Chain A
Amino acid sequence: MSQKPAAVLVVDDDVDICRNVSDILTDLNFLVDVAHDGPSALEMVRRRPYDLALLDLKMPGMDGLTLYRELRKLRAEIVAIVITAFAGPETVNEALAAGAWRVLPKPVDIHHLLSLTQEVLEQPLVLVIDNDSDLCHMLWHALREKGYRVALATDIPSAEEKLKDHTFRVVLIDLKLPADNPKELFQLVRLTNPEARTLLITGQDSDMGLTIQGALTEGVDAVCYKPFDVQTLISTVQKLTQAPLASDSPVSSSEPSPAQPSDSAPPTHAPEDHA
């Protein structure tokens, strides 16, 4: 699978160190952007997606942690490594509680940083499409803890954007989304992320029965009913990511499940116009 180069955002008010990290990563074929303060970093994040952000904690104006909190609202899938010369336990805990992945003491050992960067890129990307932002954040933390990179979309347009920007391993879809036609959303996933496995989250609303059936015939890989047990959901995601990418045997969650869509099309069965 040929992948587009990973994008890294380096934010530090020390111009020289930014340039050096940028040169080293660029030489390793990363796309690197550099910002020297929080507001310009946020502007960059608004403009394009990143996989990883290296954030200096102590910067004039907006500090690295405040920056990360803002950045996460824009692109939750960005993994943050916070870098600080003052890595007291309180700072570390605060940063980790805010969702930063690692807190590294300054000066950062470049070998260590490169191996962490590699590790980040190996974390499977998961997209959660759900208009319930509380549920989104709960799932974000739960999945993040298990080593997934998690993108969030609370509406269809942002879901479309995420699907175009990234290659996801699993896409979680809450059917309560006010979509005109959920079928279109699945088709979009197929079109943009043909190798992604899909997991449907739904209430046991009988009105939705038909829609679910429709979705299943579209090739949904698993279904989770609300209220769901987070652990069960996570292990379902784990099964989906562990299963071979082109597998045609759907994984079922341990929740009461509808009839197995045994005759459903395999995920690779994408619409003809797929590029």
Chain B
Amino acid sequence: MNPEEIIERYRDLQRYVGWNDDTPHRIQTIAPLLLPLIPQLVEDFYCEIQRHPATKRVITGGASQVERLRGTLEHWLRELLSGQYDQAYVIRRWRVGLRHVEIGLDQVFTNAALSRLRSGLARGLVDRWTGEAAELLLHLAALHQVLDLDLAIIEDAYQAEYAARLQRTERLATLGQIAGGIAHELRNPLNVIKTSIYFLLHAKNITPEKRVEHLQRIERQVNLSDEVITALTNFARMPVPTCTPFDVVACLREILEHTTALKVYDVIMDFPSVAPWALGDASQMRIVFDNLIRNAREAMLPGGQLTLAVSGVGDRVEVAVSDTGDGIDENQVSQVMEPLYSTKTRGLGLGLAIARSIVEKNQGTIRVASKKGQGTTFTVSLRAVPPPSGGASS
């Protein structure tokens, strides 16, 4: 979050807790009674820290660090009682949360420590208050508001930083996995290329046919390597879809026409005579259907049955791609659309993850149903729009 967002967050929380112009004045009124308590509160605060392994552990700099921290806490308390809650004040609170993530101090200890300070301040105020009880209650309420807001902003910073760090760690782990997957996927074609070159350079008897065969093989493997990289960039940088109405049935027919590998399978097209159109990016959805069809094909032996079904369901249009392959193990169904998950001996395991990512960006959903030994059905659901007037789908 940038400073403007942080301060906006603070102002919003102020409104939430019922802060009014009176609040800073009340703090300024009680400040003279509370300021003398500060040394004693600081002393108590650092004694308590020493008693808990989880908090003691984060003090790594010995006595000189404790001395510095005492100064910081004292400053923090003086600011708290100043009645000046400007941007600089809020940012400094925010930084406390960030710092706690850095040193590995769990937020629960911030909550506990603040509760201890709160009790100390409240007790001190009650002890020294000589005015009306009703006024005392209102002053205490103001003190609690200020403390609650401090705690809220520290916790907010803590959570944001914690989440960001977690995400960075996960991203690194994913990067590592992807790098491993790519290394494997590129190694195979590179190895073919390398051995073909070895043959072309060293073989004693090469016929012209053999030479052409090896050059073509090198070309094919270079293309394969290129596809691996394309799949990855597709995954990493899928552009924001341009959602326009498109004819799902026509899109599927076109894919089928261009997929020669389907010849050995029994392809069933279950399309209604008038199907709704879908709202989505047709070129991106083509990648999705392509991936699902290829996946279904690879799950089956030749002769298997591939079924493509389109149907209107309420305000959605659904495309179901079914195969009659082995099905997915029950405990693996939830994983099949995770990136880098693959049961195949070849492949990055990105096909279904890409499909899901695209569908979600097109405001659609994708679900999978599978029965071991019977087959698997992937169903994509997109927003439906009526076909253009007079337009039965082609």
> Do A17 and B210 touch across chains, with their CB atoms under 8 A apart?
no
Q: Give the residue among A13, A14, A60, A107 with the most B Cβ atoms within 10 A.
A: A107
Q: How many A-B residue pairs have CB under 8 A?
A: 53
Q: With A19-B217, A58-B345 in contact, do A24 and B184 touch (Cβ < 8 Å)? A: no
| Residues of A contacting B204 in the complex (Cβ-Cβ under 8 angstroms) | 27
Question: How far apart are the CA atoms of A160 and B203 in the complex, in Å?
Answer: 37
Which single residue of chain B is at the shortest CB-CB distance from A60? B345
> Do B198 and A14 touch across chains, with their CB atoms under 8 A apart?
no
> A6-25: which residues lie under 8 A (CB-CB) from chain B?
13-14, 16-17, 19-21, 23-24
Q: With A17-B188, A85-B187, A108-B191 in contact, do A27 and B203 touch (Cβ < 8 Å)? A: yes
> Do A13 and B217 touch across chains, with their CB atoms under 8 A apart?
no
> B322-349: which residues lie under 8 A (CB-CB) from chain A?
344-345
Question: How far apart are the CA atoms of A108 and B206 in the complex, in Å?
Answer: 23
Interface residues on B, range: 20 to 34
SS of B interface (majority): helix
> Do B199 and A107 touch across chains, with their CB atoms under 8 A apart?
no
Check B307 for interface membership: any CB of A closer than 8 A.
Answer: no
Which of A13, A24, A60 interacts with B195 by CB under 8 Å? A24
Residue-wise, chain B 173-217 has the 8 Å CB interface mask toward A (1 for contact) of 000000000001001101110111011001111100010001001
Q: With A85-B187, A110-B198 in contact, do A20 and B192 touch (Cβ < 8 Å)? A: yes
> Do B191 and A17 touch across chains, with their CB atoms under 8 A apart?
yes
Question: How far apart are the CA atoms of A58 and B188 in the complex, in Å?
Answer: 13
Check A106 for interface membership: any CB of B closer than 8 A.
Answer: yes
| Residues of B contacting A16 in the complex (Cβ-Cβ under 8 angstroms) | 192, 217, 220-221
| Residues of B contacting A19 in the complex (Cβ-Cβ under 8 angstroms) | 217
Check A200 for interface membership: any CB of B closer than 8 A.
Answer: no
Question: How far apart are the CA atoms of A106 and B325 in the complex, in Å?
Answer: 31
> Do B203 and A107 touch across chains, with their CB atoms under 8 A apart?
no
Q: Give the residue among B190, B191, B217, B221 with the most A Cβ atoms within 10 A.
A: B191
| Residues of A contacting B344 in the complex (Cβ-Cβ under 8 angstroms) | 60
Check A156 for interface membership: any CB of B closer than 8 A.
Answer: no
Check A59 for interface membership: any CB of B closer than 8 A.
Answer: yes
> Do B195 and A20 touch across chains, with their CB atoms under 8 A apart?
yes
* CB of B337, distance to nearest CB on chain A (Å): 22
Question: How far apart are the CA atoms of A263 and B366 in the complex, in Å?
Answer: 87
Which single residue of chain A is at the shortest CB-CB distance from B200? A23
Q: With A16-B221, A24-B199, A27-B203 in contact, do A107 and B191 touch (Cβ < 8 Å)? A: yes
Which 6 residue pairs spanning A and B have beta carbons closest together? A107-B191, A20-B195, A27-B203, A16-B192, A110-B198, A23-B199
Chain A: residues with CB nearer than 8 A to chain B? 13-14, 16-17, 19-21, 23-24, 27, 58-60, 85, 106-108, 110
**15 cross-chain CB contacts under 8 A:** A23-B199, A23-B203, A23-B214, A24-B198, A24-B199, A24-B203, A27-B199, A27-B206, A58-B345, A59-B345, A60-B345, A107-B190, A107-B191, A108-B191, A110-B195
Chain B: residues with CB nearer than 8 A to chain A? 184, 187-188, 190-192, 194-196, 198-199, 202-206, 210, 214, 217, 220-221, 344-345
Q: With contacts A21-B195, A106-B187 known, what are 20 further pairs, Cβ within 8 A?
A: A13-B345, A17-B191, A17-B195, A19-B217, A20-B192, A20-B195, A20-B196, A20-B198, A23-B210, A23-B214, A24-B198, A27-B203, A27-B204, A59-B345, A85-B187, A106-B188, A107-B187, A107-B190, A107-B191, A110-B194
